[in-house]
């Protein structure tokens, strides 16, 4: 199951999001998600590890039919307050999604893999329930901010002490292992800390977006149907003569 956020974590996250600089970062991340995933109004999307419903609120505003699943009852309570009946909310874990195959057009794992017990299985489940594309957003292991988060955890309690950080290359290799050689696209945002002032305003620069060391990595995989075949035994009448070659 991985780390399950408690009530104090949920309160701390909501307080963190109320800071203007953090909201700016989140909006940049959501723009990246929209640019890569390109969802259309009316399509369905599952937010795996939906937390307090921030991404779901954005999806609903885009005209998507959104659903979220989250193991933390505390986080779900905040999501219910935020969304009401505008999105379906479920309690469950990323590694065992309670949905049929191809139940959604898209699936999203937005800073979810960091906290699950089995990231590969969570990816496989996301690919199972989605039929078009999946989006994975992770905190970059090799970004300046990622290193800062890990160092901070050495000197005191931090939510990131429970996190597993990924690099762009680790994420791509794991995704290829799960879905095979499907089309993949990636970009990053927040290559420069906001404290850098004017330089940080270039977060949307298309050249910087190809930098593999941005604080947040967004990756989309286009799911390609794969067919499996298995041999079938053919029954012949007893005593019948068969030629040396039998058409299949």
What pLDDT, on a 0 to 100 scale, did the predictor assign at position 200?
46
Look at strands 130-139 and 216-222 and give their pairing: antiparallel
144 touches 154 (CB < 8 A): no
Please tell me the distance from the alpha carbon of residue 85 to that of residue 173, in angstroms, as a whole number: 38
Distances (CA, A) of 66 to 11, 43, 49, 55, 84: 23, 8, 13, 10, 12
What pLDDT, on a 0 to 100 scale, did the predictor assign at position 154?
58
What pLDDT, on a 0 to 100 scale, did the predictor assign at position 196?
47
Is domain 7-222 classified as CATH 3.40.50.150? yes
125 membership: H or E segment, kind and range: helix 119-129
pLDDT tens readout for residues 195-218: 544 444 444 566 678 888 899 999
Question: What residue ranges of the chain have pLDDT lower than 50?
Answer: 196-203
Please tell me the distance from the alpha carbon of residue 157 to that of residue 12, in angstroms, as a whole number: 13
What pLDDT, on a 0 to 100 scale, did the predictor assign at position 227?
57
DSSP code per residue over 60-108:
HHTT-EEEEEES-HHHHHHHHHHHTTSSEEEE--TTS--S-TT-EEEEE
Mapped onto helix, strand or coil, the DSSP state of residue 139 is strand
Instruction: Domain ranges for the chain, please list them.
Output: 7-222
């Amino acid at each position: 199951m991985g780390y399950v956020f408690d009530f104090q974590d949920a309160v701390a996250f909501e307080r963190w999001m109320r800071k203007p600089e953090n909201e700016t970062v989140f909006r940049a991340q959501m723009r990246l998600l929209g640019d890569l995933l390109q969802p259309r109004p009316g399509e369905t999307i599952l937010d795996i590890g939906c937390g307090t419903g921030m991404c779901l609120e954005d999806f609903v505003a885009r005209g998507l039919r959104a659903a979220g699943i989250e193991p933390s009852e505390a986080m779900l309570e905040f999501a219910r307050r935020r969304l009401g009946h505008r999105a379906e909310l479920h309690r469950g874990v990323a590694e065992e999604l309670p949905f049929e195959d191809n139940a959604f057009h898209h699936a999203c794992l937005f800073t979810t893999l960091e906290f699950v017990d089995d990231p590969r299985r969570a990816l496989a489940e996301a690919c199972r329930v989605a039929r078009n594309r999946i989006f994975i957003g992770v905190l970059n292991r090799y970004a300046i901010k990622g290193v800062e988060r890990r160092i901070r955890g050495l000197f005191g309690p931090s939510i990131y002490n429970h996190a597993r950080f990924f690099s762009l290359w680790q994420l791509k290799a794991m995704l290829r292992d799960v879905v095979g050689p499907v089309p993949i696209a990636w970009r990053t945002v927040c290559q420069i800390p906001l404290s850098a002032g004017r330089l940080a305003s270039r977060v949307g620069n298309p050249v910087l977006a190809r930098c593999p060391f941005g604080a947040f990595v967004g990756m989309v995989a286009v799911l390609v149907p794969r067919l499996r075949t298995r041999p079938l035994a053919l029954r012949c009448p007893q005593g019948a003569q068969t030629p040396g070659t039998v058409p299949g």
